[in-house]
């Protein structure tokens, strides 16, 4: 099967033009076919603040009322997505900017209210990997903003880590898939106050221990939950690394490699 690398980028890298340029240059240089899924939460928070819209996060996830949905649609699907696509064009990558609504690629439903009402947040039902594979066959590189759509035609804010995992899992039908989560840390840290305390590998048992101790918390929890789910669902390899180490992580090994 053909090799495919699915990369998710988020964190402070999105906010830093120089860091983003370095990352996109490395992404463009990866061998084989590839897909990029990006976040952009801090930009959305800044825009929301300027508009007088309060940002509320629960367990690393954004509460999304209609006003916040308007903001994340503008920021994720517009500003951030198109800046990334434009930059990739200059790096000889024929990128196509997408949300899950485009070509019906990622269908979701509004998350039911349980302990927390997350608002217009989507839980993914289906990825059209055949459609995405068609883009790849046309030598297009999909760049996904973390927005999905529902059967009722609503746009839904969807966690970018979840979206990356779901896309990677469904693309296993067509490719041997490596999933890489890039952000501003060197990997999963055993000590959150020490940037050099990178765990070279991580199992579910060790993850549970660190989560219980509080050394792994906040936004790392949905990231790792989705990463382990991807492994259980057929993704060949999952790595979490610093954005500046993307090429090294994919080709030689860097950051934290997850194993079951």
Tell whether 40 is in a known binding site.
yes
Q: 142 has which bridge partners?
A: 96
Q: Which residues of 121-157 are buried (b: 16+ CB within 10 A; e: fewer)?
A: bbbbeebebeebbebbeeebbbbbbbbbbbeeeebbb
- Return all residues near 154 (Cβ < 8 A) that are at least 6 apart: 110, 120
Tell whether 153 is in a known binding site.
no
DSSP designation for 73: I
Closest to 241 in 3D by CA, of 190, 162, 182: 182
Tell whether 62 is in a known binding site.
yes
CA atoms within a 13 Å half-sphere pointing along the CA-CB vector of 50 = 7
**Signed CA dihedral, 249, 173, 97, 90: sign only:** positive
Token pair listed for 117 = 């009402």
Tell whether 217 is in a known binding site.
no
What are the strands, taking DSSP E only, across 134-236? 141-144, 147-149, 155-157, 175-183, 201-202
Separation CA 71–CA 65 (nearest Å): 10
Binding residues for substrate: 40-41, 62, 157
Binding residues: 40-41, 62, 157
């Amino acid at each position: 099967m053909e090799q495919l690398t699915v990369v998710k980028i988020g964190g402070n890298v999105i906010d830093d033009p120089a860091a983003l340029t370095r990352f996109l240059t490395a992404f463009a240089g990866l061998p084989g076919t590839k897909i990029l899924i990006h976040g952009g939460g801090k930009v959305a928070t800044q825009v929301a603040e300027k508009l007088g819209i309060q940002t509320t996060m629960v367990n690393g996830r954004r509460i999304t009322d209609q006003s916040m949905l308007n903001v994340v649609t503008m920021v994720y699907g517009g500003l951030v997505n198109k800046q990334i696509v434009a930059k990739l064009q200059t790096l000889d990558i024929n990128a196509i900017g997408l949300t899950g609504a485009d070509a019906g690629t990622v269908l979701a439903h509004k998350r039911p209210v349980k302990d927390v009402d997350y608002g217009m947040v989507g839980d993914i039902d289906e990825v059209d990997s055949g459609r995405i594979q068609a883009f790849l066959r046309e030598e297009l590189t999909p760049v996904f903003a973390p927005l999905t759509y529902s059967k009722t035609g609503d746009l839904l804010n969807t966690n970018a880590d979840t979206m990356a995992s779901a896309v990677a899992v469904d693309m296993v039908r067509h490719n041997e898939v490596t999933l890489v989560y890039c952000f501003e840390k060197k990997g999963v840290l055993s000590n959150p106050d020490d940037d050099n305390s990178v765990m070279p590998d991580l199992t579910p048992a060790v993850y549970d221990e660190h989560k219980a101790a509080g050394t792994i918390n906040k936004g790392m929890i949905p990231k790792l939950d989705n990463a382990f789910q991807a492994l259980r669902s057929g993704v060949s390899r999952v790595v979490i690394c610093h954005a500046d180490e993307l090429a090294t992580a994919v080709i030689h090994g860097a950051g934290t490699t997850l194993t079951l």
